[in-house]
Amino acid sequence: MNHFEYKDGALHCEGVALEAIAAAVGTPVYVYSTATLERHVQVMREAFAPTPVLIAFAVKANANIAVLATLAAQGAGADTVSAGEIMRALNAGVPPSRIIFSGVGKTDEELDYALAQGIHQINVESAHELTRLGEIAARRNVEAPVAIRVNPAIGAGGHQKISTGGADAKFGVSAADALALYAAAQAHPHLDPKGLAVHIGSQIRDLEPLRAAFQTLRTLTETLRAQGLPLTRLDLGGGLGVPYFNEPDPPAPAAYAAMAKETLGGLNVDLAIEPGRLIAANAGVLLTRVIRIQARADRRILVLDAGMSDLLRPAMYDAFHDLRPVRPSSQPPAPFDLVGPICETGDTFARARLLAPPQPGDLCAFMTAGAYGAVMASTYNARPLVPETLVRGDRYWVVRRRLSVAEQIALESLPTP
């Protein structure tokens, strides 16, 4: 469900015309819908009801503190993969008791910071990390809450670069190693093993790989308990896909939750999930303006003021984003190559996309851009960093202003003579 609809002949976000945002803020600019963010948290909670579940939003999908605060107000937590993301979540009002820390490359400083904040859980992904965490917790004289991240040798996802559960992936440890690490954590005076975690990929459109991964968690849980080791939590990760308009609809959250409860039923554990794309993708659009149309003998090229520095997914993952005119035209559609202004051939959003012919100056919106959009943006080609706005009803706020080139230069300095 999203709240981007045409009203009075123009595309709106909730009660705000996108034209008004473009006029005030300029383009390109991200626009997020509060109502959509809130609704998606509610949908996930309702899907698991009456089973309680910690909905730990994957901050890597959208790290804007206004977005995180909106989700925190709905009771969501945060799945983080850096100390910076933990800091963002805390600044947005996410309680430490709802923050999970994942990732293969946690430094000693980051582990120490996480312990200092008293977060809910640290998902450990290697024997070395477990050793370092134990030593850091001992120095602090605390018990670190630990989950062991299992690599189930089950890869899934919409692209090989976002498949995280295969045997050759860098994430997690094997099932056999997970058992050994869990026992080692239990024996350590400053480690408090709580459970197991898994995450096998992103943009997953088939429940069966997830079912197999959850079955691995069940088997390991039963094995550990048979060894007399307590286990009270399972972190199911995220990854459930969203519709990007050119693909079949992925399974509904209700089907996902039903499968999880069926597979894990009777274990009497606390569940956590880490949705990111599912919460944020359809809650945001990237508003852009047509610079010009270049006519070639064999094709027409639509040049936009948004580029791969603003929305990287098409260049990095060959991702599809629907492009909609802010004011629809009745002209018959024609094929256009959609490109940005970056000095890279890779700065191409689509080839031969059918569109009603636009005109220079027309506004368009890349849909389903609320996840892995602004958070992956850069200042490549010395471009201003794209701003973000948040709409609630008939009001909007600039929640990250455009970072000018002058401000970027001010962060740099020349060597002294």
Q: Which CATH superfamily is domain 4-31+281-410 in?
A: Lyase, Ornithine Decarboxylase; Chain A, domain 1 (2.40.37.10)
pLDDT of residue 37: 98
Is residue 150 pLDDT above 70, yes or no?
yes
The reply to whether the predicted model has a pTM over 0.85 is yes
The ranges of the chain annotated as CATH 3.20.20.10 are 34-279
| Predicted pLDDT at 163 | 41
Q: Which CATH code is given to the segment(s) 34-279? A: 3.20.20.10
Each residue's pLDDT tens digit, 370-386: 999 999 999 999 999 99
pLDDT, greater one: 159 or 232: 232
Average pLDDT over every residue of 399-403 = 98
- Is a pLDDT exceeding 70 seen at residue 157? no
Q: What's the chain look like in SS3?
A: CCCEEEECCEEEECCEEHHHHHHHHCCCEEEEEHHHHHHHHHHHHHHHCCCCEEEEEEHHHCCCHHHHHHHHHCCCEEEECCHHHHHHHHHCCCCHHHEEECCCCCCHHHHHHHHHHCCCEEEECCHHHHHHHHHHHHHHCCCEEEEEEECCCCCCCCCHHHECCCCCCCCCECHHHHHHHHHHHHHCCCEEEEEEECCCECCECCHHHHHHHHHHHHHHHHHHHHCCCCCCEEECCCCECCCCCCCCCCCCHHHHHHHHHHHHCCCCCEEEECCCHHHHHHHEEEEEEEEEEEECCCCEEEEECCCCCCCCHHHHHCCCCCEEECCCCCCCCEEEEEECCCCCCCCEEEEEEEECCCCCCCEEEECCCCCCCHHHCCCHHHCCECCEEEEECCEEEEEECCECHHHHHHCCCCCCC
The catalytic position among 176, 343, 410, 411 is 343
Q: What is the mean pLDDT of residues 166-174?
A: 69
What are the start and end residues of each CATH 2.40.37.10 domain in the chain? 4-31+281-410
Q: What is the mean pLDDT of residues 236-254?
A: 81
pLDDT digits (tens, 9 = 90+) for 118-144: 999 999 999 999 999 999 999 999 999
Bridge pairing between strands 121-124 and 99-101? parallel
The token pair at 315 is 């260049």
Inter-residue contact 171 to 219 (CB < 8 Å): no
Asked whether the predicted pLDDT for residue 155 surpasses 70, the reply is no
- Residue located via tokens 């559960």: 165
| Res 159 pLDDT > 50 | no
Answer yes or no: 364 catalytic: no
Residues with Cβ < 8 Å from 363, sequence gap 6 or more?
Answer: 18, 19, 22, 27, 287, 288, 289, 290, 325, 326, 327
Tokens 């290697």 belong to which residue?
126
- The sign of the CA dihedral 309, 312, 316, 320 is negative
Q: Residue 280: pLDDT above 90?
A: yes
pLDDT at 204: 80
Q: Comparing C-alpha atoms, which of 167, 366, 389 is closest to residue 285?
A: 366
- Whether 154 has a pLDDT exceeding 90, the answer reads no
Mean pLDDT of 261-290: 96
Residue 160 has pLDDT above 50, yes or no: no
Least confident of 24-38, 88-102, 159-173, 256-270: 159-173
Lowest mean pLDDT, pick from 113-122, 169-178, 183-192, 377-386: 169-178
**Among the ranges given (10-14, 237-241, 262-266), the one the predictor scored with the smallest mean pLDDT:** 237-241
Q: What is the pLDDT of residue 168?
A: 59
Q: Identify whether the C-beta of residue 301 lies closer than 8 Å to the C-beta of residue 293.
A: yes
Q: How confident is the model at residue 87 (pLDDT cuts 50, 70, 90)?
A: very high
Does pLDDT of 165 surpass 70?
A: no
Q: How confident is the model at residue 170 (pLDDT cuts 50, 70, 90)?
A: low
| Predicted confidence band of residue 205 (pLDDT cuts 50, 70, 90) | confident
Model pLDDT for residues 9-41, shown as the tens digit of each residue: 999 999 999 999 999 999 999 999 999 999 999
User: Residue 162's pLDDT band (boundaries 50, 70, 90)?
Assistant: very low
- Least Cα distance to 398 among 65, 45, 145, 41 occurs for 65
